[in-house]
Structure 1
Amino acid sequence: MTIEGKVAVITGGSSGIGYATALALSKAGAKVAAGARRTDRLEQLKAEIEKIGGEALVGRLDVTKKADCDSFVNDVVKKWGAVDILVNNAGLMPLSFFKNLKVDEWDRMVDVNLKGVLYAAAAVVPHMIAQKSGHIVNISSIAGRVVFPAGSVYCATKHAVTAFSEGLRQELSQRYSIRVTAIEPGVVDTELNNTITDASLQKFVESTKQMAALHAEDIANAILFAVGSPPHMNVNEIMVRPTVQER
C-alpha cells in the first residue's frame, strides 16, 4: 500500500518523534499537517518538507484543549478534504517519585499524555467514519508495559494509551475500516528527559544519555511500516527497544 496523497495529522510535531515522522511521511508522499505549541520549530519543519517537494500545513496546537484539536483538524479537512492518518505523538515524561507529590506534573501528564490523545482522536474519528477509512497511531511507551520506580504516574498514562488503542481498534476497525496502532518505544534520544525536574533522578537521566538509544527516525520508520501496510492488515502494536535496553 502507498500513502502517497494521503493526509496525515501529527501532534507534537515540533521535535523528536513527531518531527521525524512528519519528514518520513512526507518523503513517502503524504500531505502532512503538524501541530505543536512551539511554532518556530514548525516553520522550520514546513520549510524542510517543502524543500523536498512535499505539502505541509503547520500551526499552534495545544492538545489539552479539545477546541484546539477540533479547529486544527477542521482546518486540515478544509484544505485537503480529508484526514487519513493521525499520529498521536504529543507527550511528556516528568518522572518523579510519588512521595515527592509533584501534583502539577501529574496533572500535566494526564492532560497531555491521555486527554490529549482522546481529544485528537475525537477530532478525526467523525471524518474517518464518514469516509469509512483511516489510521490512528498512538505513541505509547515501553512504560505502558513495564512499570518502574518514579514512573508510576507516567506508566499509568501510557498503560491507558495502550488500552485505549485496543478498545478503539475493536470499536472502529471492523465496522469502519479504521485501523489503530499503538507504538511502544523504549529509550529514544529525544527531548523527553528534559521534562524531568526531580533532582533525585539525575543519575537516571545521565545513565540514559550514556545508552545507545533509539533515534527518532527509528520510530518514524516503525510508524511508516504500520501506515503503509496493506488494507487487510492491521498492525496493532509495535514495541521497539534499543538493543542494550534490558527492561
Structure 2
Amino acid sequence: MARQHGFTLVELIIVVVLLGVIGISTFNFLGFGTRIYTDAVARDIQVSNGRFILQRMTREIAGALPASVRVSGDYRCIEYVPIIAGSLYTRLPRSNYTGPLRGITPADYSFAANQRVAVYTITESQVYGSTQRVKRLDSVNFDTPEPGYSEFNLNPADGDRYQRESPARRYYVLGLPVSWCLTAGQQLVRFSNYGWLTNQPDLNSLPGSGVEHRMATNIANDVNIAAQRPFAIADSDVRRTTVELVMLLGSDRTDEILTMHHGVTIVNLP
C-alpha cells in the first residue's frame, strides 16, 4: 500500500493563522493609505475654500470707497461701499455753480439706478449719514459737453452743492453697500441690495429687502476670542486703510482646523 503525504492539522492551523495575519496587515495598510488620501482631499478642499473666500473678499474690499469700511460691534459683520467707476471732474456743483457735475467719463461705465456720486469722503459719517459729500445720481448725459466727458445730474433732494472740493479733483460712482457676516451657525454669508442705512446693519436686520448668498460653511471662528475675530480694521489714516481678515475653516471629513490670515489695503485717494 502506497504511503500518503499531506498536511497535519497543526500545519493547516498555522497556515490559516499566517494568512489571517497577512490579510489583516494588508487591509490595515490599504486602510491607512485610504485615510491619508481622504485627509489630503479634505485638506485640499479646506485650502481651496479658504482661498476662494479670501480672494473674493480681498477683491471687493480693495475696491471699496475710502472711509466706507466698518465692522459691527459684535465683530460678526463687515460692511463697505463698492466703487463702480471713478475719474476726474472738471466742474463740481459748489459755491455759485449749481449745475451738473462735469467730468471725464470713466472707462467702461454705464449708468444704473441707485448709484451715488461721492467727492472727498474721509469719515464713515460722511459716507453713510450725510448727503453733503455723497449724492444720489438721477441721470448721466454722456459725451457732454464734448466726447470723452459726461454730465452727472444729481438728485435735487440731496442738495445742489458739494461741501468740499477733492484735492485731486476725483469723483467716485458708487453701488449699493455690501455686508459679509459670520452667523451663529458658523456660515459666512454675503448680503447685498439692501440699501443705504445710517447705522450699520447686523444679522438681526439683514438681509431686509436685499439678497443673501451663503459663501462658506464650517467657519470655526470664535468672535469672543480677539485673535479669531474674522474682521478688523487694523490701521487707518489719510493715506490707506488696512483690513485684517481671519478665517478658521473646519471640515466635514476631519477634525483639523485651517487658519488663514490676510491683510487688505485700501489706498485712500480722495
Larger radius of gyration between Structure 1 and Structure 2: 2
**Which structure: greater strand fraction?**
2
- Establish whether TM, by shorter chain, passes 0.5: no
Point out the structure with the larger helix share: 1
TM category (shorter chain) comes to: under 0.3
TM-score (norm 2): 0.24
